[in-house]
Each structure stands twice: as C-alpha cells, then as structure tokens.
Amino acid sequence: MGDLLLNKKVVRNTDTKLDPELSQHSQNSATPEQHDWRQQTWYILSQNPISMFSIVLFLIFILVGITGPFWVPFDPIASDTSIALQAPSFLHLFGTDHLGRDVFSRVVVATRLDLWIALSAVSISALVGTSLGCLAGYFGGWYDRIIGRIADTILAFPLFVLAMGIVAVLGNSLTNVIYATALINIPFFIRVARAEVTIQRNHQYVQAALLSGNTHLRTLVFHIFPNCLPALMVQMSLNMGWAILNAAGLSFIGLGVRPPVAEWGIMVAEGANYIISGEWWLVLFPGLILMLAVFCFNLLGDALRDLVDPQKRT
Amino acid sequence: MAKPFLQIKNLAVDFATRRGVVHAVDDININLNKGEVIAIVGESGSGKSVTAYSILNLLGNNGKIAKGSITFDGMNLENPSASLLKDIRGREIAMIFQNPMSTLNPIRKVGDQLSDMLRQHAQATNQTAPRKVIELLHKVEIQDTRRVTNAYPFELSGGMCQRVMIALALACNSRLLIADEPTTGLDVTTQKSIMDLIMGLVKHRNLAVILITHDLGMAYQYCDKFVVMEKGQVVEACDDHSLFTSPQHSYTKKLLAATPGISSKVEHLTPTVPVELSKPAVEIEKKELLKVEGLVKTYILKSQGGFKSQGNTFNAVDGVNFTIYQGECVGLVGESGCGKSTTSRLIARLEQPSEGRILFLGEDIGQVSDRDFIRSPRRKDIQMVFQDPTGSLNPRHSAFQLISEPILRLQKDFNKANLKDQVYQLAEKVGLPLELIYRLPHQLSGGQKARVGIARAIALNPKLLILDEPTSALDVSVQAIVLQLLEHLRREHNLSYLFVSHDLNVVRMLSQRILVMQSGKIVESGETAEVMSKPKHLFTKTLLAAIPQLAS
C-alpha cells in the first residue's frame, strides 16, 4: 500500500513538470523539497522519527512476507517428533513446537498469510465503506439514512461474534475469513468518509468545481474524495491492525485457517496448551510478532496521513 | 514628563521555528496614556498582532521577547511571572478578538462565562454574580438580558457575541483594552455600533485602547494616535491626524491610496496605473444580457426534534427583479443574511430557484435543473469568482490544474496541445507569474490565489461573471490590485459583472448601477452616483452613514 501511494506521487509530480524550462524556473525560486517526491517523502519522514520507524518496520514485514518462504532454515510444516518441544537454541532460534517444527520458520512463513488477510480485508472494506460513506456524506437525504442505518446495524452486533457467525455459516475457509473481516470493518470507513465529506462539501472549491462543468459524481470522486484521504489513511492503517488481530483471533478459536498451516493466531492457540508445562516459546514468539505488526500499523497511520497531505509539502 | 500608562520600548519578538529563528517584530516603540486610543495599522503579516499579544505574553511556546521592555502602569511585563500574568490578564488588560463566535466557549451559556470571569477575579460571589452579569450586559447596551444570559454563543449574532466579548473584557474594570480587528467579518452597521460602544467606554471610564486594524478609514475615525507597521517594523508613527493629510513614509502613502474612500477612483488605487485604465470607459449599449424576474428562493426550516420537516418556510430571496446589460457592472449590496449570496448562487445555477425566471439572453435558464445545467452550453457563459481565495481552490491541485479545469471540462474544441498555451495566456492576463503556476494553493499568497480564482473564472470567456465579495479576504493593497485587474478585464473583454459585496465603497468604484438588498428584497436601485449621493431608502442611508470614511 505504501508503494502504491508513492507511485501515485511520481505520476503527479511528473505531469506537473511538462516544461523543462519552467521547472528550471521554479528550482530557482522555490524550496528544494518541492522538486523531487523522493526528497519530499524523505523530508516529511525525517521530520518525524516515529513515522520513519513505522515505515521501515512495515517495509521489513512486507519483505519478510514476500521472501520469507525462500530462506527459512526449516520446512514450516514438516514434523519431526524426535526434536519436539526444544527450547530456543542457535539451531532453532525460537525453539521447536510439539510436533518438532521450527517455530522461527513458521513465524516467518506466517507473515505472508497474515499480511495478505489484513491487506485484502482492509482493501475490500475501505473500497466499499468509503464509497458508501462518500455517497451518504455528499448526497445526504435517503442515501444518508439508508447507509447510516446499515452501518448502525453492523455495529449493533459484537463484531468478533459477527465475524465468527459469518465464517461458521459460509464455511470454514480463508476467503470467508477475509470477507468476514472486511464486513465488520466497513462501518468504520462509512463513518470516517461520511464525516470528512460533509466537512469538505461546504468548501467553496466544491462549488467552483461544479461551475467548471463537473457533474456531482465527478466532483465527489475527483475533488472531494482526494481531500478526505489523510483521514482515511489513518483509518486504513488502524484497521490493518484490527484485521490482523481479528484473523488471528478467528484461527485461535479454530475458525478460518486450519492446521498445519502456519499462522500467528493458530500458533498462539496451539502453544497455549504448553504454557503450563513451561514451554513458553511456543506462544511468546508468534504473539510478540503479532503485537509488533499491529503496533507497526497503528503508527503507520500518522506517517501515511502526512504523506498524502498536500499542506505538508512546504 | 510623567511616564506613559503603557510604554513599549525597543521591543523585539522572536519565534523559534523549524526553519530557524524568525524575527517577527523589531524595535517597536509605543506610548499610550489613559483615555487614548491608538491604532496599529498594517497588512497581514506586518506583526501588528504579535506586538499586541506580547503585552499579555500570549506568544505561544516558541515565541519570546528578545529585547526591549514593556511597562504597564509601573509594572514590567517583558518577563512576567505566572501569578502576575494571571492577575493582569482579564483584570488589568483585556482583549477582544477578531472572530467573536469562536472566541466564546461554544458549549457554555453566555451568562455562565461572564460570571466565571467575575468570580475568577473576585469581583462577585455566587450570590451577586447573576445581578452583576445583567449589569454588565446593560453596560454593553444589550437590552434583552434574560435571553442573552441563557443563550449559547451560536444562538447569538456576530455583533451580539462581540458585545458579550466586550462585556467579558470589561467585567473586571480593565484599564487597557486590546482590540484585535474587533469588527472584521461584521456588517458595517454592526461595526459602527460596536465601535461607538467602545468609544463610549473610552470616554466614560478613561479606558486606554489599542485597536489593531487593517482599515485606515476606521483608524481615522476612531483613534487619536497611529502606528503604521510593515514587515515587523514601525514605518511611521504619528500622534495626530496629520498622518492622513501628509503621510511621510511611502508605505503609508501606498496604504492610503489603496483604501477606497468616498471619492476615490479605481484608477488611483495604486501608483502604477495599468495602461488600459487610463483610457476613458466605453459607453454601455443597452443590450440585455441577464434579466431576473420575480426570483424567489424558499427554504424549509426544520422543526426542532420532529422527524418530518414541516410547516415553517423562509424566503431567502423574495421576489427580486433586475437587469444586467452587456458590458456593465452591477453592484449588489446588503448586510450578511440579506440574500445577496443566495441570489448570486441562483443566477450561477448552483441552486434551484423556487419561483421566478432567470432570462439569459432571452432564454429562461431557471427552467433547467441545476444538475442538467452542467451540460448546457450556457454553463461556460456564467462563471463566478468566490469570496475566499483559499477555500475556493482545491488544496490538492496546482494553479495550472485549477485554471485548466474548466477548459478540460467545458471547452468543446479542446486540444491537448493548446492547453498549456491557453493556461499560460490566462495566467499572463491576470498577472500571475508563470514560475508560480505549478505551485499548490498553500504555497501562494492571498493576492496570487485571487488571481488564480479569476483566471479560472475567465478561462472560457464567460459573458457574465459573478463576483461574490472577491476582495473581502484580501489586504487593501492587494484589493486595490485585484479591483484594477477586474476593471481592466471588463473593459478589455466587454465582460458583465454582478458584483456582490457588503462594502459600498468598493462596489461604488466598479459598478455603473447599484442594487441595495435587505431581507430578500431589493429596496433601492439606481445609477451608482445617484444612490451614493442621494439615497432614498432609509436602509441605504444607514449603510452609507456606517462606513468609516477617510477625510477627502
């Protein structure tokens, strides 16, 4: 997602530099941050070390998710009961589990699955929720009433129980976990988008856009929506954290991802039985990484908001 | 010679920002005695507010008084202790701000806020507070005390809120009042009553007042001493009205010239007159461009608490008739809430009229719904310049994108290769430097933003341009330039304007005819010179009398 954003910036900045002579001009008069999106990003991030930290952490997670399966020292699924329940050592960094599988390899391999669930679930809910929220906020009236009640209805359920119910009814599969996670996150996007659009639509630039010949829908999509992005970015990254927790929670109680697939939630669930007998590493390491991922997403929100806010481009 | 009541000596204020130290003001000297009113005049960014705020040490965490001294009645205020500040703020020195609606706490009743102030400074006890609050409100000439004490700030008008702010400022018999643009954003008639109230207090209580303003007319009318500031420096200080008759500094001269007075002409607002303006104005042929007949806009007021909106309606525009001829500028003047903005939005076809006809070149465009009007060929003929140059520009779009937007959307024979030339030409036409054209709005100054807004509006050669208070958010010197630009464009392209404003002095300079609007109706209309010199309607007379005038 971060990459996507940066790409968008490249496009923006290249098309505003059609004229070499002109960009020369502005180079003389403007501050250096303006010219290069890379410098711009760097400038914003260097202003805030926490943002920098969260972006670096996020990139590490993505990298591990993509490359993890190729370099892990052991097969994450192959069991070997002769080495079951070994404490962390140099050979098995995070120790081994009750079937003799390497916990480190499993944690690394699980990254891809967990990130995939979170990203796809949040993408779906952001797409659906933001569209509905924008319509409700801009057109008001019946749109607002109906969409508002839909959001209220979803929120009326305890969300985790609702997700459990959906997965139980639709069938125990990864796709359904994603759908369930997406559904329970939709109301949050509806609310944020609706609130932002109701603020933005009162700005005069909206009237100016209508006068310039934009239809209402076009004004909403190309003029108002981009100005709601900063707030939506924060919501998206927070929801990523929730989505990961939710997916892990579902597999913890036995829904969704099934053993022997490596997933942080399952690993915590399986390891929980062994805490009493002193094999703490089964729970601790997947739990820690899960926590770190959620923590990273919560911090990421601020960084992304700063990156999409034009006012920060000094 | 006795020491003055308030003495500011060699004051310099620095702000630490991430780009290094900013010297906001430097070497400021001000002397003020009891019962005197001093005006600090300057344009935005001149440091006039910072100077006043430093008296109460309201400089924020990053600001500090770098050197100089502030003496108030024998007390040193340049480095005050927290307890001294607590005693002085509100009790000795009070302040009123620019936007009274947002300065009052929105979730507390006005009466409670007043009695808080009284109790805080031990001026009243729980028992005596209600009575004292009513006394205070009487002092600021509020009659309806019962309603006002029980009202929340949003239930009161702007003028009423400012009166409450003054009551708050006076609650503890303060001896110095700092008024930071106290009437900006209020109607001229309200401005007059607020200023008269403050002047009455000066007389009766020997109050000293620092009036921060950008309006030279107001300074002239109400103040005894004047300080003109530019870029953090005092460029001219004067203890009598000779500032206005024989200004010494070039900046003061420039400001004086740019301030519209009763007889000033648009050509004379800036020292360098654009060539076209020196030519005599063209005669307007009486060819009807726009004719509005019986225009009505009715809003349904929502009843409180009910599910259905029922019953109560309110006519924001109530049967308006007027005509605009080709090449003519018609001024539409009135106070806030009189329906002038609604009228302009109806004509711009952003809203649907409830009744009446809008004939544009003989064609009734009121019949087309606002949704379909976007596709109408008439869309590009009626464009608008908005009041707020910042709010009317999409913050994510560069000046280039903003100007090209109407061309991309509405121009039929649009050609991608020509787009850049077209936009550059427009930028040149409105005097926007080409090197700024890829900047985002927040990287432009107020005047540059106004130019972008005008360039966008004239991009498609509209026949009618609606100017909705196009200069009210600008400094006078920028206003002068924008007004000249508008006049220049009208003469060169034979444009027609509907100039909507609350400021008669500004409207007068551009308009051939003036319409005066009050509560949805046009109460007076006629040739500009006639309306200005021989107003017939009482409301027009009140409006004219309320405008602070410079000596001619």
pLDDT of residue A305: 83
**How many Å apart are CA B436 and CA B420, to the nearest integer?**
14
pLDDT of residue B173: 81
- Tell me which residue has tokens 């500009």: B528
Tokens of B427: 């930028």
Q: What does the mean pLDDT of chain B come to?
A: 84
Q: pLDDT grade, residue A25 (50/70/90)?
A: very low
Beta strands B329-333; B513-518: pairing state: parallel
| Secondary structure (3-state) at B224 | coil
**How many Å apart are CA A263 and CA A98, to the nearest integer?**
16
Tell me the chain A residues in contact with residue B456 when contact means C-beta distances shorter than 8 Å: 208, 212
Tell me the chain A residues in contact with residue B384 when contact means C-beta distances shorter than 8 Å: 207-208, 211
**Among partner residues B350, B374, B388, which is closest to A215 by beta-carbon distance?**
B374
Q: pLDDT grade, residue A313 (50/70/90)?
A: low
pLDDT of residue A1: 38
Distance from CA of A158 to the nearest CA of B (A): 29
- Tell me which residue has tokens 């009423």: B160
pLDDT of residue A133: 94
Instruction: Using a CB–CB cutoff of 8 Å, tell me whether A207 touches chain B.
Output: yes
pLDDT of residue B132: 87
Beta strands B363-364; B382-385: pairing state: unpaired
Q: What does the mean pLDDT of chain A come to?
A: 82
Q: pLDDT grade, residue B327 (50/70/90)?
A: confident
| Secondary structure (3-state) at B3 | coil
* Strands, E assignment, B335-442: 355-360, 363-364, 382-385
Instruction: Using a CB–CB cutoff of 8 Å, tell me whether B300 touches chain A.
Output: no
Those residues with Cβ within 8 angstroms of residue B17's Cβ, 6 or more apart along the chain or in another chain: B62
Give the mean model confidence (pLDDT) for residues B177-189.
Answer: 84
Instruction: Using a CB–CB cutoff of 8 Å, tell me whether B279 touches chain A.
Output: no
Distance from CA of A129 to the nearest CA of B (A): 23
pLDDT at A32 over 50: no
**How many Å apart are CA B286 and CA B433, to the nearest integer?**
37
Q: pLDDT grade, residue B35 (50/70/90)?
A: confident
pLDDT of residue A4: 40
pLDDT of residue B56: 85
Give the mean model confidence (pLDDT) for residues B278-301.
Answer: 78
pLDDT of residue A3: 40
Quote ipTM for the complex: 0.80
pLDDT of residue B286: 76
pLDDT top residue among B210 and B58: B210
pLDDT of residue A132: 95
Instruction: Using a CB–CB cutoff of 8 Å, tell me whether B355 touches chain A.
Output: no
Give the mean model confidence (pLDDT) for residues B214-228.
Answer: 88
Count residue pairs from A and B with Cβ separation < 8 A.
Answer: 90
Tokens of A52: 């920098």
Beta partners for B37? B209
pLDDT top residue among A253 and A194: A194
> Which pLDDT tens digit goes with each residue over B230-241?
888 888 888 888
pLDDT at B328 over 60: yes
8 Å CB contact of A203 and B392? yes
Distance from CA of B438 to the nearest CA of A (A): 6
Give the mean model confidence (pLDDT) for residues B310-326.
Answer: 84
pLDDT at A14 over 50: no
Tokens of B272: 């360098």
pLDDT of residue A24: 37
pLDDT of residue B278: 54
Tokens of A180: 């369930």
pLDDT of residue B302: 60
8 Å CB contact of B439 and A208? no
Cα-atom radius of gyration of chain B, to the nearest Å?
25
* Strands, E assignment, B166-248: 176-180, 208-213, 225-230, 233-238
**Among partner residues A29, A211, A215, which is closest to B383 by beta-carbon distance?**
A211
8 Å CB contact of B395 and A209? no
pLDDT of residue B280: 59
Give the mean model confidence (pLDDT) for residues B438-446.
Answer: 86
pLDDT at B53 over 50: yes
Instruction: Using a CB–CB cutoff of 8 Å, tell me whether A46 touches chain B.
Output: no
Q: Which of B435, B440, B448 to mutate to test the interface with A (most CBs of A within 10 A)?
A: B435
**Among partner residues B18, B374, B386, which is closest to A208 by beta-carbon distance?**
B386
Give the mean model confidence (pLDDT) for residues B68-79.
Answer: 84
The region of weakest confidence among B59-73, B273-287, B328-342, B447-461 is B273-287
Q: With 0-12 CB in 10 A as exposed, 13-18 as middle and 19+ as buried, what is B262?
A: middle
Tell me the chain A residues in contact with residue B352 when contact means C-beta distances shorter than 8 Å: none
Nearest CA in chain A to B405: A212
**How many Å apart are CA B26 and CA B231, to the nearest integer?**
9
Most confident of A17-31, A266-280, A285-299: A285-299
Q: Which of A204, A214, A223, A306 to mutate to test the interface with B (most CBs of B within 10 A)?
A: A204
* Strands, E assignment, B231-272: 233-238
Instruction: Using a CB–CB cutoff of 8 Å, tell me whether A305 touches chain B.
Output: no
* A103-139 vs A174-200: helix crossing angle, rounded to 10: 40
Nearest CA in chain B to A28: B435
CA triple B164-B168-B174, angle to 5 deg: 135
Tokens of A192: 């944020």
pLDDT at B515 over 90: yes
Cα torsion through B469, B473, B476, B477, rounded to 10: -100
pLDDT at B306 over 80: no
pLDDT of residue B276: 56
8 Å CB contact of A26 and B395? no
> Which pLDDT tens digit goes with each residue over A147-171?
999 999 999 989 889 999 999 899 8
pLDDT of residue B273: 58
Most confident of A125-139, B287-301, B383-397: A125-139
Nearest CA in chain B to A229: B396
pLDDT of residue B88: 84
pLDDT at B307 over 70: no
Q: Which of B347, B394, B418, B437 to mutate to test the interface with A (most CBs of A within 10 A)?
A: B394
pLDDT at B412 over 80: no
pLDDT at A224 over 80: yes
Q: pLDDT grade, residue A195 (50/70/90)?
A: very high
> Which pLDDT tens digit goes with each residue over A104-142?
989 998 899 888 998 999 999 999 999 999 999 999 889
8 Å CB contact of A213 and B406? yes
Tokens of A74: 């052991």
